[in-house]
Structure 1
Amino acid sequence: MKKIFVALSMVAFLAACDDSSSASAENNEPTTLSSAEEQGSSSSRHCEECNDEAISSSIEELNGTSSSSSVKEKSSSSYTQGDAKQSSSSEKSGKSSSNLIESSSSSVTSESTEKSSSSEKLPETSSSSEKEPESSSSSLGGIEFSSSSVILSSSDVSIPSSNSVVLATPCKNETEDNCEYGELSDERGGRTYKTVKIDNQWWMAENLNYESANSWCGGGRTTANGVERITTEGDCAVYGRLYTWTAATTACPSGWHLPSKAEWETLFTAVGGQSTASNVLKSTSGWYVARNGTDVYGFSALPAGGRSDVGGYYNKGDDAYFWSSTEDNRYSAYYTTLYYDSDKGFDNAKFINDGKDYAFSVRCLKD
């Protein structure tokens, strides 16, 4: 009979624990633990399980799974105590769990407050983020602009480039000549040549007139009279001499050389490009029918024409031809020509490759 009474008492206590656990989970309050403390030592083991379940349920709602696992660890540790200390351990576990719930509740409240506070500050952050493009600015070519409010096109702004070319300043006109000139003394023939500085290059300002093998006076003319060709040699004193390519490569005096194609291109770039070079480098006289140049750099190119590989002269007064040291292949090399393009109606400069046995003028460039 006594055993039946004890069993009924245990069932009643378990039912009370279940009701207490359910009420604690719904109301999120830690008061369930106080009822466990008032129960007898005989049911403490079972109530302890009820308390742990109630604590676990509360923690899962307030602080997630991690707090629940923490409580279960504490609960499992309480089971390792001796039977004599179970009641005392249960009471302490209840109090400790109660403190844990309060701490967890406080932690959750703190997290909620921080999240709420952070959430309230988000619009300001977003607003600040939206304003950043307005405040960001950069400088390009000395011009400050906002990346969000101004769009600059290449037509509006001149952007300096490391590859920008500074053109040489014209130094000569109809009334003044302020070009930087020098002299070249050729000991081989006792001649002195006028030189001129254009940008960073020193050029001969007249055609080379050193007599060597495979050279002829420039400005000659060949005409046909029926089947007969009449060749009139030119004037070396005015036009200098015409050289085959092989002769030209060794014709310049010491300290000077036959310029390469790239060095001719450098000159053309300095005076404004190939479309400009012909007009500004040509002499102001000696060209046919209004084809004289402006000669604003003192280069004074003369229309000596050329000599073909079979000995005929051509284009005196129309074209100036100058050899470069750049070969095209074993049979031909590059030269440049300054001429008036009658089809297009303007002066021009271009590079052509031709046979090395043709004869053209030479302008030496200082080493």
Structure 2
Amino acid sequence: MFKNLILALLVIFSVSSCSDDPTEEKEPLTIGSLVDVDGNVYETIVIGNQTWMAENLRVTKYSDGTEIPLVVENNAWGDLQDGNVDKAYCFYDNDEEEYGGDYGALYTYAAAMNGAPLIEVNTQGVCPDGWHIPSESEWHELFDYVGGVVTAGGYLKETGTSHWKKTESDVTNEYYFNALPGGSRYLYDGTFDRITSVGYWWSSSENTEYDAYAVSLSNSTLGVYTSLYGKSYGFSVRCVED
């Protein structure tokens, strides 16, 4: 019986040692770079089986050189009611110098998608060649990889308060995604809101001709949210590699 007890203890020790090795190291981060048609350079990051931009997009043209319409006036933005046709972009508060470099630009769904039909797979839209607007499922592949929607924000948001109004102590930016709160532009009257507090990013996945899915991160929670929004909202864009 004593020998059996010793064997049982050895098995338990062996299993616990294999499953909880304090010296086990995480895979090193794979950081790259990407250049858009305007010459802007972005860092990229490999997370699981995906490669993501580690910054918000700030391009003003499509990859073929076609200009994206810049809409400045609030009432003109409010007139963008055809969510599949009315392409527009802007910088928060129409101040590219103050906000563009760090937070990127805000795009309507039509601008982000460049008018592509929903049936297309890996829609390039406003992204550089070889990259595309992530679908809702691709966003959730990312969230699942970093631990699920309840805590994903802690692993994806930039740390500190240089860009976030406040951050929780559990925010680590462990995967170097550098999520930033670029705010939004309201679809009905073109007003700007919530920079430094909330980041919104388009997915390619639409619900109807009027609305599509976007994901958001807030300074008040570690969770990530997927919701439907009118297509004429101005939101940030992150691209994922084909």
Shared topology, TM-score over 0.5? Answer: yes
The structure with the greater share of residues assigned to helix is: 1
In the alignment, what sits opposite 2:218?
339
| Corresponding position of 1:275 | 150
1:171-208 CA deviation, whole Å, 9 max, x = no partner? 6xxxxxx411111122x211221100000100000000
Report matched runs for 1:94-243 at 5 Å: 178-186=28-36, 188-211=37-60, 212-213=68-69, 214-218=88-92, 220=93, 235-243=99-107
Matched to 1:312, the amino acid is: T
Letter in 1 for 2:166: V
Give, in whole Å, the separation in 2 of the partners of 1:290 and 1:203. Answer: 23
Which residue type is aligned with residue 308 of structure 1? Y
- Unaligned stretches of 5+ in structure 1? 1-142, 144-168, 172-177, 221-230
In structure 2, do the counterparts of structure 1 residues 291 and 232 end up closer, same or farther at CA, with 3 Å as the change threshold?
Answer: farther
The match for 2:182 among 293, 296, 304 is 304
Match of 2:59, SS? Answer: coil
Runs of 4+ with deviation above 2 angstroms: 231-234, 289-293
Q: Which has the higher contact order (CA 8 A, sep 6+)?
A: 2
CA-to-partner distance for each residue in 1:208-264, whole Å, 9 max, x for gaps?
Answer: 01012211114x3xxxxxxxxxx8675111111000001011210110000000000
Q: CA separation in 2, counterparts of 1:216 and 1:195? A: 23
* Separation of aligned partners in 2, 1:330 and 1:190: 33
Work out the number of aligned pairs and report it: 178
Cα pair 2:165 2:219 within 8 Å, conserved: no
> Structure 1 residue 288 and structure 2 residue 135: aligned?
no
| Cα RMSD (Å) | 2.0
Q: Contact 1:170/1:296 (CA < 8 Å) preserved in 2?
A: no
Deviation at 1:289, TM superposition (A): 2.8
Deviations 1:4-27 (A, max 9, x none): xxxxxxxxxxxxxxxxxxxxxxxx
Give CA-to-partner distance per residue, 1:18-67, whole Å, 9 cap, x none.
xxxxxxxxxxxxxxxxxxxxxxxxxxxxxxxxxxxxxxxxxxxxxxxxxx
Distance 1:170 1:263 in 2: 23
The 8 Å contact of residues 216 and 225 in structure 2, kept in 1 or not, is answered as yes
TM-score by length of 2: 0.69
TM-score, normalisation: structure 1: 0.46
Partner SS state of residue 152, structure 2: helix
Separation of aligned partners in 1, 2:139 and 2:56: 15
- The one-letter amino acid paired with 2:176 is G
| Residue identity matched to 2:110 | T
